[in-house]
Amino acid sequence: MAKILEPTPENIIECAKAIQSGDIVGVPTETVYGLAANVFNNSALTKVYQTKDRPAFNPLIAHVYDAKDLVALEKLGLIDASKLPPAAKTTAEKLITKFWPGPLTIVLPKNAKVPDFATAGLSTIAIRAPKHPVMQQLIQKAETPLAAPSANRSGHVSPTTAQAVDEELGKSINNILDGGPCEIGLESTVVTIADDGKVQLLRPGAITRENIQEIADMTSVGDSQKILSPGLLANHYAPSKPLLLLPSAVLSLNFTNSTELIRKQFPGKPFQQLKAGVLLMSGDTDMAEIYLSGLLGLNTICRKLSVTGDLREVAKNLFKEIRNLDSQKIDLILVEPCNSEAGLGHAIMDRLRRAQVKH
Ligand code: TXA
Ligand code: MG
């Protein structure tokens, strides 16, 4: 069973030593919790894949402490900057200066020293400098970049608390560093840079398209890149109960259009026999429960993701609330859509679409 450790200097050093000796540790970051290993240690990387039951074709993100530029990443033995065309180099430097430390992962040409295991055999490596002080101290003490995928079993919802890491992987790891609830709650934005210096978004996150466009041009991802970012397969981030993303808010005029969609999830079963967990973006949960039972005869537990509809609050609570509903005695989870897919709405809707698994 895993020990959940307060992030004292002693515990951070203990975890750093564990990593140096080839163990894997549950770690906090500002996005979601990760499962960290020394990026240069093949047997530790194998443990990461085995523990998560992660397909070998899905590469890992290397986490660094406060790298200021490409030279620093090359010195760490992570990248081969000579393989970057000048325009791409300029963009990479701009992204690093503007967004690190923070929730932006940049895909760059990999250094020959990085084991193929870390990158699933790709010629590139995904790197980010996390902002969470506990993770920063751990990387410093471990004296090596840390490969860290989200600390969930493959395909599941990412954990945003130490307790959620324990539920996911506690039986198979020794230590989880508790850095409190994650501030952002969604995995980092992942980008790659085309030869002409344009940024391509592989996974939306808290660094939004709009944020990136302020400093660099963007272009859409071609089919070849889709294959090169194997973690972006649909049916990711899934709870064990069926999750349906509603086409409109519960207390909106259009909501009645959702009735048929909900019914299709359980053909032949009357609503009276079902219980749904419902996540509202904001608003009155009591009123939504009364409305859903009056209109459809559907029993619900309604929870709200934010007080005012602030998308940062929605993102922070989303995975925690999905996890919470998933553990209750319900038949399905219904989630309201964001009002807009601009800004953080893009990442939230991306995760919700992927969480909709056909059960
Ligand atoms: O916020 C985060 O990024 C968290 C925390 C722990 O840092 N980590 C995380 O890791 O979400 P993971 O392994 O769950 O997601 C990594 C994503 C996957 O979609 C993977 O396919 C993509 O990054 N990726 C990794 N290396 C890549 C590469 N060389 N080229 C393209 N995509 C890559
Ligand atoms: Mg993940």
- DSSP character string of 238-304: B-SS-EEE-SS-TTSGGGGGHHHHHHHHSTT--GGG-EEEEEESSS-HHHHHHHHHHHH--EEEEEE
Centre of ligand 2 to C-alpha 232, Å, is 9
Centre of ligand 1 to C-alpha 175, Å, is 22
Centre of ligand 2 to C-alpha 105, Å, is 13
221 CB within 6 A, ligand 1 = no
For 110, phi and psi rounded to 5 degrees? -85, 150
126 CB within 6 A, ligand 1 = yes
Average pLDDT for 68-92: 98
Tokens of 318: 């989303």
Looking at residue 228, its pLDDT comes to 55
Looking at residue 343, its pLDDT comes to 97
Residue pLDDT, tens place only, 16-70? 999 999 999 999 999 999 999 999 999 999 999 999 999 999 999 999 998 999 9
Determine contact, residues 188/105, Cβ cutoff 8 Å: yes
Distance between CA 160 and CA 181 in Å, rounded?
6
Question: Which ligand sits nearest to residue 28's alpha carbon?
Answer: 1
For 341, phi and psi rounded to 5 degrees? -100, 15
Centre of ligand 1 to C-alpha 7, Å, is 24
pTM over 0.85: yes
CA-angle at 247, arms to 246 and 249, nearest 5°: 75
Distance between CA 31 and CA 206 in Å, rounded?
8
Comparing CA positions, the residue from 111, 114, 117 lying closest to residue 46 is 117
Average pLDDT for 62-80: 97
CA-angle at 42, arms to 108 and 72, nearest 5°: 35
Question: Which ligand sits nearest to residue 188's alpha carbon?
Answer: 1
Question: Which ligand sits nearest to residue 35's alpha carbon?
Answer: 1
Residues written for the chain = 359
Residue pLDDT, tens place only, 3-15? 999 999 999 999 9
* Model confidence band, residue 106 (pLDDT cutoffs 50, 70, 90): very high
Q: Of 147-151, 185-189, 190-194, 250-254, give the lowest mean pLDDT range.
A: 250-254
* Model confidence band, residue 352 (pLDDT cutoffs 50, 70, 90): very high
Distance between CA 156 and CA 120 in Å, rounded?
20
Identity (one letter) of the amino acid at 62? A
Distance between CA 267 and CA 43 in Å, rounded?
48
Average pLDDT for 182-187: 98
Beta strand 61-63 pairing with 299-304: unpaired
* Model confidence band, residue 223 (pLDDT cutoffs 50, 70, 90): low
Beta strand 61-63 pairing with 25-27: unpaired
DSSP state, residue 339: S
Distance between CA 131 and CA 140 in Å, rounded?
13
Determine contact, residues 126/60, Cβ cutoff 8 Å: yes
CA-angle at 39, arms to 35 and 45, nearest 5°: 60
Average pLDDT for 189-196: 97
Distance between CA 66 and CA 60 in Å, rounded?
19
Place of tokens 């999830």: 265
Looking at residue 317, its pLDDT comes to 98
Centre of ligand 2 to C-alpha 184, Å, is 15
Task: Please determine, for residue 229, whether its predicted confidence score (pLDDT) is greater than 80.
Answer: no
Omega before 101 cis (within 30°)? yes
Task: Please determine, for residue 290, whether its predicted confidence score (pLDDT) is greater than 60.
Answer: yes
31 CB within 6 A, ligand 1 = yes
Residue pLDDT, tens place only, 127-148? 999 999 999 999 999 999 999 9
105 CB within 6 A, ligand 1 = yes
Looking at residue 234, its pLDDT comes to 55
229 CB within 6 A, ligand 1 = yes
Give 43: exposed, middle or buried? Use CB within 10 Å, 0-12, 13-18, 19+: exposed
Looking at residue 203, its pLDDT comes to 96
Mean model confidence pLDDT for the chain: 94
Place of tokens 């973006």: 281
DSSP state, residue 150: B
Q: What share of the chain in percent tops pLDDT 70?
A: 95
Comparing CA positions, the residue from 247, 243, 238 lying closest to residue 330 is 243
